[in-house]
């Protein structure tokens, strides 16, 4: 809870007012999935596609945010919780700004994703980037699975830390069987854009 001396300062311009300028009802596209499943790859292609259509969009990527805002956080349970709490709050601000917000975070726990969902209501689109662990491990784009298997990396999602598969995501995309372009197309189709 904030200190009782901190008072919310209300403003004169709302998200709805801002949408009158952007002329697009913005959404939150929240990608969740194992490391290496393809969240960042699809997110940046989706951002490009939306941009080409004249839609103001922005990717918030877990790794990038850890370079700045969250660089004080590690990977303990407490820090992971704080990491995702800040990411949900950051997403909320971008959404309120009227920007088409693309969030690319492993976000392994349902309660974390639900917190983010509560900030955007019906405009929250959870995209489960579904890729078998074996395939993610084969890709091992960052060499992290190798480190997790050798024990160098503790509590790695999918290996030694659980990932809760979304129960009712708005979209599920299988990146093992579909190429990046096909995945982006599927999301654009869902968005009717
Ligand atoms: N259909 C697909 N969609 C996305 N990526 C794919 C697809 N098919 C193959 N790939 C490959 O899988 C890898 C996905 O890596 P990426 O960094 O996007 O994963 P990530 O989910 O963001 O992982 P992390 O959580 O570690 O950031 C890339 O090398 C990409 O080229
Ligand atoms: Mg990524």
The reply to whether 76 belongs to the active site is no
Q: Which one-letter DSSP state was computed for residue 168?
A: S
DSSP code of residue 161 = B
Q: What is the pLDDT along the chain (193 residues), one digit of tens a residue?
A: 788 889 889 999 999 999 999 999 999 999 999 999 999 999 999 999 999 999 999 999 999 999 999 999 998 889 999 999 999 999 999 999 999 999 999 999 999 999 999 999 999 999 999 999 999 999 999 999 999 999 999 889 999 999 999 999 999 999 999 999 999 999 999 999 9
Choose the catalytic residue: 35, 37, 40, 107.
107
Domain extent listing, the chain:
23-191
CATH architecture, domain 23-191: 3-Layer(aba) Sandwich (3.40)
Cα torsion through 26, 29, 30, 36, rounded to 10: -150
Q: Tell me: the pLDDT tens digits for 77-98?
A: 899 999 999 999 999 999 999 9
For residue 21, the CA-to-ligand 2 centroid distance in Å is 31
- Cα(122)–Cα(79) distance, rounded to whole angstroms? 29
Instruction: Please give the structure tokens belonging to residue 148.
Output: 């997790």
Cβ contact 99:19 at 8 Å: no
Give the closest residue (by CA) to ligand 1 atom 27. 35
Query: For residue 2, what pLDDT is reported?
Result: 83
Q: From 62, 133, 141, 184, give the residue whose CB has the most ligand 1 atoms within 8 Å, as the site to mutate.
A: 141
Q: What is the pTM of this model?
A: 0.96
Rounded to an integer, what distance in angstroms lies between the CA atom of residue 139 and that of residue 64? 20
């Amino acid at each position: 809870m904030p200190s009782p001396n901190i008072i919310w300062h209300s403003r004169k311009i709302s998200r709805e007012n801002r949408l009158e300028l952007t002329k697009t009802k913005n959404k939150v596209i929240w990608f969740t999935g194992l490391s290496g499943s393809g969240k960042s790859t699809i997110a940046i292609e989706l951002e490009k596609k939306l941009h080409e259509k004249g839609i103001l969009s922005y990717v918030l990527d877990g790794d990038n945010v850890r370079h700045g805002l969250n660089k004080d956080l590690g990977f303990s349970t407490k820090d992971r919780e704080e990491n995702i709490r800040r990411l949900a709050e950051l997403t909320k601000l971008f959404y309120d700004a009227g920007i088409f917000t693309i969030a690319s975070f492993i976000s392994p726990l349902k309660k974390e994703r639900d917190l983010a969902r509560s900030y955007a209501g019906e405009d929250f689109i959870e995209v489960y980037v579904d890729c078998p662990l074996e395939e993610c491990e084969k890709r091992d784009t960052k060499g992290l699975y190798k480190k997790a298997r050798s024990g160098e990396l503790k509590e790695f999602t999918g290996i030694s830390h659980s990932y809760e598969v979304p129960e009712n995501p708005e979209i599920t995309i299988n990146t093992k069987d579909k190429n990046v372009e096909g995945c982006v197309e599927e999301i654009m189709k869902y968005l009717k854009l």
